[in-house]
Structure 1
Amino acid sequence: LRPELARYDTEISRLTAELEALKEDRAGIQDFYDECSSIISPVRRLPPEILTQIFTQHDLACAVDPDETTAFCKLARGPLLDLSQVCARWHDIVMGTPSLWENAELESTLWDTSEETTVKMMTTLRDVLERGGKSPLFIDIRTGASPLHPPALQLLAEHSERWEWMSVSGFFLDLDGFSAAKGRLSRLTSIVLYGEFSSESISIFENAPRL
C-alpha cells in the first residue's frame, strides 16, 4: 500500500502547487481590476474631449482592420458600440457625442435578405443618423448584385442638410430615393460617383452651392 499512498501524496502535492499558482494569478488579476476600477484611476481623470479623440482614432483604426469591416459592423459603427459597453461614463460619451457618428456606410447586401433583417438594418441606420445630431454626414454607399433598399435612401435624404461628403459606387445605381434631398444640399462639398447614372438621378445634386 505504501507505493499507492506515495502516489496519492505526490498527486496532492502537485495539485496543491497548482492551486497556489492559480491563487497567485487570481490575486494579480484582482489587483489590476481594482486599479482599473479605482475612482483615482488615470483613465477616469481624462476629460471627455480627450476620450473622444481616443475613441475617434480607435474607430478609424478598426475601419482598416479586416476583422472589423463586416458590412453590418460598418453600418452600426461596431467599434463605437464596443467602447460604449466598457462603463457607464464611456457609454454616455459615445452616445452623447454627435461627431463620433458622422459616418454612414451602407452596402446593398445588408438588405438583400429577409424582411426581419431589413427592419433591423433600417433601425440600425436610423439610430446612427439620430446619434449624429446635426453634425456633418459622410456617406459611403456600395451596391452589389442588387440595388440599395429605397427606404434607406429616403431615410438618408431626410438628413440631406447634413451631407458633406458622399461616395456612391456599384452596379445597381438608382438614386431616385434621394429625390427629397434636391435643393437641400447646402453643406455638400464633395461627391464621388462610380458607375452609370441617369441625368435625372444626377440632377438631384444640381443645387449644391459648395460643390
Structure 2
Amino acid sequence: MTSLSHCAKCGVLTTTSAPVDCTNAIPRTRYHSLLTTNEPPEGPDVAFIQAVISKTNGHLTRLDAEISRVREHLKQLQEERGALSRYRSENNALLSPLRRTPPEVLAEIFYCTLPSISEAKEWRRFDIERSPWVLTHVSSRWQVVTIPSPSLWSQIAIVASRISANPLSLIKTQIQRARTLKIEFSGSTRQHTPLATKVFELLSECSGR
C-alpha cells in the first residue's frame, strides 16, 4: 500500500512507491519558507518547484486511474450484492406463512381492510386504489381469493356529485360480485347529471338484494 511522507532532506511530499529525487532539491528550510510565506521563489526555486509539480501531476494521474478502477469494481460489487439481496428476498418469500394461509382465512383478513361506509363517503372519487379493488392487483392468488368473496364487494358508497364515467362500470362489476348489498347513495339537490341517474337506476335494479 502506498503511503505519503515528507522527504527528510528537502521536505517534499513523496510516496513509498515513487520516492523523490533530491539531486537538484533546494534546502528543506527554504522550501518550507516558500510554502508558509508569501516570499517569491527565485531561479533555483522555480526549477525545483516545477519538477515537484510535474512529479505530483504524474502521481495524481496514477491515483485518478486507480480510483476509477476501484469505483468501477465497487459498482460491480454493489450490483452483485443488490442482485443477491433480491434473490434472497424472493426465496424468503417462498417460506412466508402467508403463502400457506387458507383462502377462507385470507378472505377474513381482507374483509378487515375494508373501509366503513362513512369513510368511503368522504372519498373525493370512486377509488380503485383502495380495498377491495387494490387487493385484486397484488398477486394472482389474492385475485383468486378476492373476486369470489361476496362479502368483500357488498359495501358501496356513492356520492352522485363525484361520479365519473369509469366508476359506473366498476359499480356494475362490484354489484355482480356481491350477493347482498349495503349501499349508501347520496344525491344532490343542487345539480343533476345523467350519469347520476344511470347509477341510481342501476342500484334500483338491485333493490331486492
TM over 0.5, shorter chain:
yes
Count matched residues: 147
Unmatched segments (≥5 aa) in structure 2: 1-57
Query: Structure 2 residue aligned with 1:139, among 179, 183, 195?
Result: 183
Runs of 4+ in 1 over 4 A off after TM superposition: none
TM-score (norm 2): 0.61
Alignment of structure 1 residues 156-171 onto 2, 5 Å: 156-162=203-209
**Higher relative contact order (Cα pairs below 8 Å, separated by 6+ residues):** 1
Identity of aligned residues (%): 20
User: 2:115, 2:131 within 8 Å by CA — same for their partners in 1?
Assistant: no
**Alpha-carbon shift at residue 5 of structure 1 (Å):** 2.5
1:169-208 C-alpha deviation (Å, 9 max, x unpaired): xxxxxxxxxxxxxxxxxxxxxxxxxxxxxxxxxxxxxxxx
| CA RMSD of superposed structures (Å) | 2.7
1:8-60 C-alpha deviation (Å, 9 max, x unpaired): 21122133224313322331222112232x3x542121111110111112223
TM-score (norm 1): 0.60
For residue 25 of structure 1, what is the aligned residue in structure 2? 82
For residue 125 of structure 1, what is the aligned residue in structure 2? 171
User: 1:56, 1:100 within 8 Å by CA — same for their partners in 2?
Assistant: yes
Within the alignment, does 1:107 sit opposite 2:159 as a pair? yes
3-state secondary structure, aligned to 2:191: coil
User: 2:124, 2:162 within 8 Å by CA — same for their partners in 1?
Assistant: no
1:83-125 C-alpha deviation (Å, 9 max, x unpaired): 21222221111111111001111122334xxxxx43x232111
For residue 198 of structure 2, what is the aligned residue in structure 1? 151
Query: Structure 2 residue aligned with 1:86, among 138, 163, 170?
Result: 138
Counterparts of 1:64 and 1:72, CA distance in 2: 12
3-state secondary structure, aligned to 1:156: helix
Unmatched segments (≥5 aa) in structure 1: 112-116, 163-211
